[in-house]
Amino acid sequence: MKEKLIKTVLDNMNGMLSEEQVELLHYAMEEALAEFDVCQKMSDGEIREKENAELLDVFISAKKIEGCSDKTLHYYKSSIEKLMVAVNKRVQEIVTNDIRCYLAEQQENHQLSKVTIDNLRRIFSSFFSWLEDEDYIVKSPVRRIHKVRTDTLVKEVLSDESMEILRDSCQELRDIAMIDMLASTGMRVGELVKMNREDIDFHERQCVVFGKGNKEREVYFNARTKIHLKKYLDVRTDDNPALFVSLAKPHTRLTISGVEVRLRNLGKRASLYKVHPHKFRRTLATMAIDKGMPIEQVQKLLGHVKIDTTLHYAMVNQANVKMAHRKYLN
């Protein structure tokens, strides 16, 4: 950039100075600029983008320290970046109506569900509340945007019959051990794939998992799981410390997507609709509450920070509602 500046000046002086004077001017300018960094003036748009990006990076760093996963951080960053590009303002200048219009446009143009729109609202609320707490802005523009009302969807769980059909469809010891582990512990699939053999305490029928934000907790499995897990580990010939590995050599640790694909294929083989890891977690929560386990204990079992999340996961058996109505209200 320095050479470009010097050349521009010399070109402008062309014809006014002798060759000797041009050389002297060239030398003088190089000496004068030696201790300076020369850069091209940024446009207002470039300055705005730079400032916004810097604030976003600091926010993402703060969320990382709080223990958010890389997947969550990526979702936060990409969602906020899209808002910044669409609104085309400094974050300090963004007002409530800008965000309202953006959310409405996203819903209309991209056919986003109410749940997704509310997720975006919560992300923006987190970002602007942080800006407010750090004194970058006076008041969050998201404060006046209320929670999006969403339809309550009754999500399916796996019945006892479906569980048995799924188990019967398994041709590998690993698969039945994996299904039993998910079904009896209610652990997240991300927790399952991180587990090692040494994490299992067969005597106490328990294991330690690392959940969201690397939070450690104990989970417990039943006798059926113990038997199938032992059988699976006994026939393993590899030395991989991972609890669940691929069937084919070199027997690498299973990934989240690997578990999801395998369960989906097992479900198809058993003619079961949408079998995925999270369905086992929801089934356990529903069954626990249905059998009278206190909601606080279910919360602890699932590793939820807020009890509202536990209530959201769990479904109450409609037959029990009918029985309770007859018992208490008739």
Instruction: State pLDDT tens for residues 71-123.
Output: 889 999 999 999 999 999 999 999 999 999 999 999 999 888 888 999 999 99
Residue range 160-322 forms a domain whose CATH class is: mainly alpha
CA angle 72, 183, 308 (to 5 degrees): 50
Q: How far apart are the first and last CA of the chain?
A: 86
Residue 6 has a pLDDT of 75
Cα(221)–Cα(185) distance, integer angstroms: 5
Q: Is 200 exposed, middle or buried (0-12, 13-18, 19+ CB in 10 A)?
A: buried
Residue 46 has a pLDDT of 77
Which band of pLDDT confidence, cut at 50, 70 and 90, is reported for residue 308?
Answer: confident
Percent of the chain whose pLDDT exceeds 90 = 56
Residue, of 213 and 255, whose pLDDT is higher:
255
> Reduced to 3 states, what is the DSSP secondary structure of residue 46?
helix
Residue pair 96/144 in contact (Cβ under 8 Å)? The answer is yes
Q: Would strands 206-210 and 200-201 be described as parallel, antiparallel, or unpaired?
A: antiparallel
Instruction: State pLDDT tens for residues 21-42.
Output: 878 877 787 787 777 776 767 6
DSSP bridge pairs for 209: 217
Which band of pLDDT confidence, cut at 50, 70 and 90, is reported for residue 125?
Answer: very high
Listed residue (266, 267, 184, 276) closest to 222, CA to CA: 184
Q: Which two tokens stand for residue 171?
A: 């041709």
Check whether 304 has a pLDDT greater than 90: no
For the chain, which residues make up each domain, given as ranges? 2-33, 44-133, 160-322
Question: What is the DSSP annotation of 196-213?
Answer: BGGGEETTTTEEEEE-GG
Its sign, for the CA torsion 270, 276, 278, 279, is negative
The average pLDDT across 30-57 equals 80
Check whether 144 has a pLDDT greater than 80: yes
Residue pair 281/187 in contact (Cβ under 8 Å)? The answer is yes
Q: 44-133: what fold?
A: DNA polymerase; domain 1 (1.10.150)
Cα(97)–Cα(64) distance, integer angstroms: 29
CA-CA-CA-CA torsion for 105, 108, 112, 118, nearest 10 degrees?
50
Residue 71 has a pLDDT of 84
Task: Give 144-160 as a 3 state SS string.
Answer: CCCCCCCCCCCCCCCCH
Residue 130 has a pLDDT of 95
Residue 330 has a pLDDT of 57
The average pLDDT across 211-234 equals 91
pTM value is 0.64
Residue 309 has a pLDDT of 80
Which band of pLDDT confidence, cut at 50, 70 and 90, is reported for residue 321?
Answer: low
The average pLDDT across 152-172 equals 86
